[in-house]
Amino acid sequence: MNDSTKPNDLIALHAWLIEAGLEGMQTEPLFDGFCQRLSAAGIPIARGFLSMGNLHPLRRAHSITWAGGRLTDVSDFGHSIMTTSLWAESPFKFMMENQIARLHRPLQGDDAKLDFPVLREFRDAGMSEWLALLQGFGWGSDNPAGEQFGAVLSWTTSAAVGRPQGWRVDERAAIEELSATLSLAAKASSSPLATQEVLAAYLGSDAARRVSAGQVRRGDVSRIEAAILYADLRGFTNFADETAPEEVIRRLNGIFDCLGEAVREGGGEILKFLGDGVLAVFLAGSSLEAATSAAFSAACNARDKTTALSEREVAAGHPPLSLDIALHAGDLTYGNIGTAERLDFTVIGPAVNEATRLEALCKQLGAAILISESFALAASTLRDRLRSMGHHRLRGVREPQEVYALS
């Protein structure tokens, strides 16, 4: 260890990482700050790379690259990366599948070992040494080795930062020692966001935010005003009985994608998938009229998307599937409901029941979208786009309700 890299420098770096992790510093400034401090402590690095595994339905990993004294790339990788040639030839894949926590390669001279394409790229870029460290967040889980979640770190040095022959032994040892603390700090920093993202995938973003903020006790509910969109596939039961399960799931996911995109674009949230049905809400905030307008646009958008999808399926020789949608507005009870240990963050109330009953009239009235009287009253700017379908009884609702369709 040279005069510019003293034990106290490493102790200070450990302490900084621990404090940053406990404070929840975001991963990008955490990694940038660490690389800057590592260089200032006299340990020359030309490039640093950190990749954190994600427990997310769309993203497999979040990766950060530091080079030339700054962050140069921040990227998210989808699960499809695991099927690419880039991943097949990656040293990280080799490490994960063989549960190798450390891989070290000289890149220059007689001792160079360039057994992965990326190492030859680093050599050609003037790098002299490469070190990769894998910090698994639980090797004992049931996931296959190649699907483990954790942190992957890699470091290189070069002549450009004063190490044409690579690091000294003490410098490399310091990098390894500090990388473990860096991984722990990164895990601590990223875990709350990762948890909220997983909750959002299963509960919806607003429910996830409320749960993450501490709304977790049974009976912890609030009264809200909202526009409700309830959708269900017409004739799905017969289709499911006559179709292979894999094809049923494919068609169902395709329609849910269309509906989910429309709801998200309109600012709403899907709260429930009920078999082939979907319950979405558009929270009123300060204006129920704005919520109903957003829900109306989402319903029309979903109808157009699913109609186009069905036409493509029919052209490919598959049976058609159509979506029936009901729009309603009213007061809801929103929060934690369930057993003492198994809760559901959802909405309940007469308004939800009325929305489902209204959807059941779509087939009878020959309309893809039906709108309740309370929704029509709240959506005053949309009245000229609606036509009355008369008064109808909804199961469980005492008085007949006037129902509207698109004009």
Q: Are residues 221 and 196 in the same domain?
A: no
Is-contact 279 230, C-beta < 8 A? Answer: yes
- Give CA separation, 342 vs 200, 218, 333, in Å: 17, 9, 18
* 90 Cβ neighbours under 8 A, 6+ residues apart: 116, 118
User: How far apart, in whole angstroms, are the C-alpha atoms of residue 154 and residue 46?
Assistant: 11
**For all residues of the chain together, what is the average pLDDT?**
89
Indicate whether 323 and 176 sit together in one domain: no
104 occurs within a structural domain:
yes
Residue whose tokens read 């186009």: 308
Give the mean pLDDT of 372-401: 88
369 SS3 class:
strand
Stretch among 55-59, 82-86, 260-264, 307-311 having the lowest mean pLDDT: 55-59
What one-letter code names the amino acid at 311?
E
Residues 159 and 256 in one domain: no
Residue with tokens 């903020």: 213
**Whether residue 193 is found in the same domain as residue 251:** no
252 inside domain:
yes
pLDDT score, position 396: 73
Residue 293: inside a domain, yes or no?
yes
Three-class secondary structure of residue 214 per DSSP: coil
Q: How many domains does the chain have?
A: 2
In this predicted model, what pLDDT tens digit does every residue of 324-380 receive, in sequence order? Answer: 999 999 998 888 888 888 888 888 888 898 999 999 999 999 999 999 999 999 998
Q: What is the model's pTM?
A: 0.75
Q: 338 - beta bridge partners?
A: 343
Q: Please, are residues 155 and 131 in contact by the beta-carbon 8 Å criterion?
A: yes
Instruction: Assess whether 265 and 371 both reside in one domain.
Output: yes
Q: In the predicted model, is pLDDT for residue 53 greater than 90?
A: no
Query: Which of 172, 202, 232 corresponds to the end of one domain?
Result: 202
Q: Domain holding 396: CATH number?
A: 3.30.70.1230
CA 346 to chain centre: 20
Q: Is residue 208 part of a domain?
A: no
| Residue 209 covered by a domain | no
Asked whether residue 210 is domain-assigned, the answer is no
What are the start-end ranges of the H helices in 243-336? 245-265, 288-315
| Chain Cα centroid distance, residue 89 | 27
108 pLDDT tier (thresholds 50, 70, 90): very high
pLDDT > 70: what percent of the chain? 95
Domain boundary among 162, 180, 202: 202
Q: φ and ψ at 345, to 5 degrees? A: -95, 105
**Which position has the higher pLDDT, 258 or 146?**
258
- Point out the domain boundary residue: 202, 231, 246: 202
pLDDT at 65 over 90: yes
Containing H/E element for 200?
A: helix 169-203
pLDDT at 139: 41
CATH number at residue 140: 3.30.450.40
Q: What is the pLDDT of residues 157-209, one digit of tens each?
A: 999 999 999 999 999 999 999 999 999 999 998 888 878 888 888 888 888 88
Give the residue numbers spanning the domain of 196: 7-202
Q: What is the pLDDT of residue 149?
A: 63
Residue 153: Cβ-neighbour burial (10 angstroms; 0-12, 13-18, 19+): buried
Q: In this predicted model, what pLDDT tens digit does every residue of 127-154 receive, in sequence order?
A: 999 999 998 765 445 555 445 568 899 9
- End-to-end Cα distance, the chain: 80
User: Do residues 197 and 255 share a domain?
Assistant: no
Tell me if 39 is assigned to some domain: yes
- Please indicate, yes or no, if residue 346 is contained in any of the structural domains: yes
Same structural domain for residues 241 and 123?
Answer: no
Based on the domain organization, do 167 and 296 belong to the same domain?
A: no
Predicted confidence band at 293 (pLDDT cuts at 50, 70, 90)? Answer: very high
Give buried/exposed letters for 364-385 (b at 16+ CB in 10 A, else e): eeebbbbbbbbbbebbeebeee
Question: What pLDDT score does 250 carry?
Answer: 95
Reference 154, options 126, 135, 171; nearest CA is 135
Whether 48 and 122 map to the same domain: the answer is yes
Per-residue confidence band for 300, with pLDDT thresholds at 50, 70 and 90 = very high
Same domain assignment for residues 250 and 288? yes
Domain match, 85 and 13 both? yes
Instruction: Point out which residues pair with 372 in neighbouring strands.
Output: 403
159 shares a domain with 85: yes
Confidence of residue 14 (pLDDT cuts 50, 70, 90): very high
Q: Is pLDDT of 397 > 90? A: no
